[in-house]
Amino acid sequence: MGISFLTKHLLPYAERARLSVGGTRTEERPCVSSVVIDGPSLVYHVYYRILAWMDPSCDVLDIQPTCDEVSRGVVSYLLQLSKAGVVTYAILPSLLPRQEYLVSRFFPRHGIYFDGALPVSKRETRLARIEKSRHRLEVSRRRTPSPSSPEYREPASIQPGQLWQTRSLPSRWKGLPENPFMVSAVYDDLRERWTNERISTDVQSERDHLPVDAEYPWASITAMVSGEADFVCAHVAKLTGSAVLTSDSDLLLHDLGPHGSVVFLDSLQLSDSLQRPFEPEIQGLRICPHSLPHRLGGISLLRFAYELKRTPWVQFPELVRRSKAEFEPAKTYDYQDFIQEYQPSTEQSPMPKKQLHPLDPRVSELFWQYELSGVYGYAEQPHIYLGVLNEDHSRRCAWEHGRFYRSLGYSLLNLSRPSNGFTNVYEFVRRGGRIVAETITLASLKTAMSDLQLLQRRLGLARAVFNSSSAGFWVLFALTEIYHDSSNMATTPSADQLRRFLGEGFMAKKTEWTDIHLLAEIQAVLYSLRMLRQLLGVATLDNEVLAESRLGLADLPPLHTMMRSRREMIPSFVDKQLVHGSVNQLFQTYC
């Protein structure tokens, strides 16, 4: 998550390196031939690069890159790394000393890592980040009382070179809410969507360097770990001498070994090569933490970061002086707490305790609060942090919809862990102008089975009312939940408004906040169903009701489809007669 200004202070000690296969240090610059990738950092980096290249005339509230656009951008980025011959490192047991192999038998042998859980010590930081997102949403709503354009922007044309070029964001785009689902979507897509064939048809980039013997080029090197991705990235870099591609300055404080390094994503660029004019080099700024203390006069890098975190306004020379000074007794315990964040305990080892079915990061974090409660829960009631949706900040939070399904999923996981069960789960969501912990009471087995049967009846009714094979079925099912909520009736669109929304993406003559909020409500229901499906998958209970429920949710679409923008959703509702009939059926059945 990074320490403010750490990169700024240490960047003068970086060296420009080139990323290339089989390269060696030259008089001009060193060479990086293998990398480990911090997955979330890469996703956010690509997101902002795509955003920076959007047409400045687009409506500010229609500008957010979608999950699909970000996923395509990440693939284009990885293809360029492949073209340069850079190895996204996968550990092989034969490369490890025997003692390392013995402790790494269950090490995830992959190279693009995603956080599967964050320790209790990071909860305050996590809450601060969610509050920052909420504040962005509030400011965005205040500055833009009503969107200005009836036209949708064109789909982002992701040219490979643009992702490697720095471009300033227009001032009115700075501070916009970020896409809360893009990290999950990219993780899923790298494992399950991007085949060689799909890449050939859907991504504008050269594909000559893809491995021909792997249908999914990145599935085997993409992993969600049972903890923070930072620790695994650092561990792999230490064992292999690889560079970690990241935007997170925290990686500088981990033990990367004598040859491991950090290369910052925003420093990477394509540079023309005199030797190979048609194959631009990838160059970036690299910092080797092992050599920094010597260059900084013998100080500890952890001590320097600690002093910076305590007093971020202090200038560099004073920070160096303080880093050399003797500790005051009162600071000693604070410092020990600080450095523990970068020194994992035995339980918080980079070696996962067991391999999981692929889980959404939020579901994974809940799972590990049961499996390793000493690290991720401290015997407290489980916490789950729902992202801030792109919604109308002045209205009730869209996460109110779908809570029934999320609560059911939490209860099923809890019931399958009777030895360390809980009574509640705390959901962190927006309530008005605050982020609060909503208490979700976990159900008994009898109630959970009854709720699953209710889910089956709802799905059965919806499949009878609508065309369950249509591309828009799950959107219509989400709408049934929204319209069935009696407390929401005063703000739900009329039948005519809903027909226009489905067919054109807005209810009036142009986009309004009501359109944006309705889409957020649809997304909240769909994501809640996704969470329930995954929690059904890891729940160890086994009976006919659960089996039927798993089957009922099996055809939920992937996240890049589920979280479509209004523009992307319209093609599913091009048949006006079908839309008219579906809306009529919805109002007759559910209102």
What is the signed CA dihedral for 322, 327, 333, 335, rounded to 10 degrees?
Answer: 30
Residue 326 has a pLDDT of 83
Residue 109 has a pLDDT of 40
| pLDDT range class, residue 107, cuts 50, 70, 90 | very low
Q: pTM for the full model?
A: 0.92
CA pair distance 340, 351, nearest whole angstrom? 18
Q: Which residues are CB-contacts of 276 (< 8 A; sequence separation ≥ 6)?
A: none
Residue 279 has a pLDDT of 65
CA pair distance 279, 577, nearest whole angstrom? 52
Of 240-254, 366-380, 570-584, the one with minimum mean pLDDT is 366-380
Task: From residue 244, give the alpha-carbon distance in Å to each of 24, 259, 289, 394, 413.
Answer: 18, 11, 12, 41, 35
Name the packing angle between helices 329-340 and 301-310 (round to 10°).
110
Q: Are 343 and 238 in contact (CB under 8 A)?
A: no
**Tens of pLDDT along 406-465?**
999 999 999 999 888 899 999 999 999 999 999 999 999 999 999 999 999 999 999 999
Q: Which residues are CB-contacts of 568 (< 8 A; sequence separation ≥ 6)?
A: 66, 68
Q: Is the pLDDT of residue 97 over 80?
A: no
**Which value, in Å, is the radius of gyration of the alpha carbons in the chain?**
25
**Tens of pLDDT along 63-85?**
899 999 999 999 999 998 888 87
Write down the residue that tokens 């969507």 correspond to: 193
Parallel/antiparallel/unpaired status of strands 31-32 and 15-19: parallel
DSSP 8-state secondary structure symbol assigned to residue 132: H
Q: Is the pLDDT of residue 524 over 70?
A: yes
Of 220-234, 396-410, 422-436, the one with minimum mean pLDDT is 220-234
| pLDDT range class, residue 491, cuts 50, 70, 90 | confident
CA pair distance 402, 437, nearest whole angstrom? 17
- Beta-ladder partners of 35: 88, 243
* DSSP, residue by residue, 367-401: HHHHHTHHHHTTTSPPEEEPPPPSS-TTS--GGGT
Mean pLDDT, rounded, for 1-5: 81
| C-alpha closest to that of 39 among 284, 234, 222 | 222
What is the signed CA dihedral for 212, 213, 218, 221, rounded to 10 degrees?
Answer: -140
Mean pLDDT, rounded, for 286-309: 91
CA pair distance 66, 186, nearest whole angstrom? 11
Q: Is the pLDDT of residue 114 over 60?
A: yes
In whole angstroms, what separates CA 431 from the centre of its chain? 22
What is the signed CA dihedral for 116, 120, 121, 123, rounded to 10 degrees?
Answer: 80
Amino acid type, 78: L
Share of the chain above pLDDT 70, in %: 87
CA pair distance 495, 587, nearest whole angstrom? 7
Residue 95 has a pLDDT of 40
Counting Cα atoms < 13 Å in the Cβ hemisphere of 477 gives 30
Mapping DSSP onto H, E and C, the string for 224-258 reads ECCCCHHHHHHHHHHHHCCEEEECCHHHHHCCCCC
Residue 313 has a pLDDT of 94
**Average pLDDT of the residues of the chain:** 87
Better-predicted residue by pLDDT, 89 or 215 = 215
**Which two structure tokens, joined as six digits, stand for 395?**
């209205």
Better-predicted residue by pLDDT, 29 or 215 = 215
Q: Which residues are CB-contacts of 326 (< 8 A; sequence separation ≥ 6)?
A: none
CA pair distance 582, 591, nearest whole angstrom? 13
What the chain holds in terms of domains, given with CATH numbers, is 6-295 (3.40.50.1010), 297-344 (no CATH), 389-420+444-590 (no CATH)
Amino acid type, 470: S
**Tens of pLDDT along 444-458?**
999 999 999 999 999
Task: From residue 453, give the alpha-carbon distance in Å to each of 447, 450, 525, 529, 584.
Answer: 10, 5, 18, 15, 26
Mean pLDDT, rounded, for 157-186: 88
Residue 472 has a pLDDT of 92
The enclosing H or E element of 283 equals strand 281-287
Q: Are 82 and 195 in contact (CB under 8 A)?
A: no
Mean pLDDT, rounded, for 157-170: 86
Mean pLDDT, rounded, for 470-480: 93
